[in-house]
A and B are shown apart, each in its own frame.
Chain A
């Protein structure tokens, strides 16, 4: 099917003219199957992390070993949380850049997002190392196993996100992400933002709420 390139609006152009930001896909819902699939996946992830957070709440009072607030380093974790929060800004700016067709800027923002994510993971590894040295191993108490499982699962999600971000940069460098595929960046962005909102909950429920 032949079509004019100039008749294909960028998302930014569509946003300027329409109430809804995104161009309709050729599906019954007007949403691409990939994007719909990602939202379904994220909805199911609510159940996964809900289960892990609930388990932590049930087991947060250890019968043996250190208690949460004896070992948590709140200033350090606050800094990590801030880093992850700011990575959501760089991610959304990357999506915005590719919607405008600014490939170089998109790569810079995605690179920044990956670096911030890696910083968060490095902080988490450091935190785990300190906890183990202070006597809180995975099997030390029911609190420790629930804590490491919850935050560890989140860390794995962040790591997968970093791999996706690096892949996006490599694809972009090979010219595989033109504007009409900006949705690829947006979908990775959805995953990344979800990882961030999960940490928003973990940070408040696990670290900040007093025992």
Chain B
């Protein structure tokens, strides 16, 4: 079958063309992994005295969990893992620029110190 334009391709011609496609399992497993991480995040609120995140440890624990969730979604669900490296570089350019700019801004406002250091 030959066509002259993409617009002329009937939408049903290729239906079900590739049945044995198993990346869906990877997506479901990734979602389960993210759900577990979310439950751990919620546990830091529900059980604040748990030794792993007691006292000042809670912020680093939450930041690590957040970063793992962030990059898991970006790499698996947004296909950076499977896509061309230039897209990864492009996205990281924006992300790294944003992090640098706003860490500098927060430092300017001395957010890392309490009032008596000012």
Q: In residues 1-60 of chain A, which contact B (Cβ within 8 Å)? A: 1-6, 10, 12-13, 15-16, 20-22, 29-31, 35-36, 39-40, 42-47, 49-51, 53-54, 57-58
> Inside 8 A of B76's CB, which chain A residues have their CB?
92
Query: Mostly helix, strand, loop or mixed at chain B's interface?
Result: helix
- Given contact pairs A5-B9, A74-B42, A100 touches B98 in the complex (Cβ within 8 A): no
Q: Which residues of A contact B59 (CB under 8 A)?
A: 209-210
Q: A197 interface residue, CB < 8 Å from B?
A: yes
From 1 to 28 in chain B, residues with beta carbon under 8 angstroms from any chain A beta carbon are 1-4, 6, 9-19, 21, 23-24, 27-28
Q: Main SS of chain A's interface residues?
A: helix
A21 in contact with B31 given A103-B12, A175-B11, A204-B66 (CB within 8 Å): no
Contact B11 A103 (CB under 8 A): yes
Cβ–Cβ contact B101 & A178, under 8 A: no
Question: Taking CB as reference atom, which chain B residue is nearest A207?
Answer: B45
A: number of interface residues (CB 8 Å): 74
Given contacts A22-B84, A92-B77, contact A40 B16 (CB under 8 A): no
Q: Are A193 and B73 in contact (CB under 8 A)?
A: yes
Residues of A within 8 A of B (CB): 1-6, 10, 12-13, 15-16, 20-22, 29-31, 35-36, 39-40, 42-47, 49-51, 53-54, 57-58, 74-75, 78, 81-82, 85-86, 88-89, 91-93, 96, 99-103, 175-181, 186, 189-190, 193-194, 196-197, 200-201, 203-205, 208-210
Residues of B within 8 A of A (CB): 1-4, 6, 9-19, 21, 23-24, 27-28, 30-31, 34-35, 38, 41-42, 44-45, 48, 58-59, 62-63, 65-66, 69-70, 73-74, 76-79, 82-84, 86-87, 90-91, 93-95, 97-99, 101-102, 105-106, 109, 111
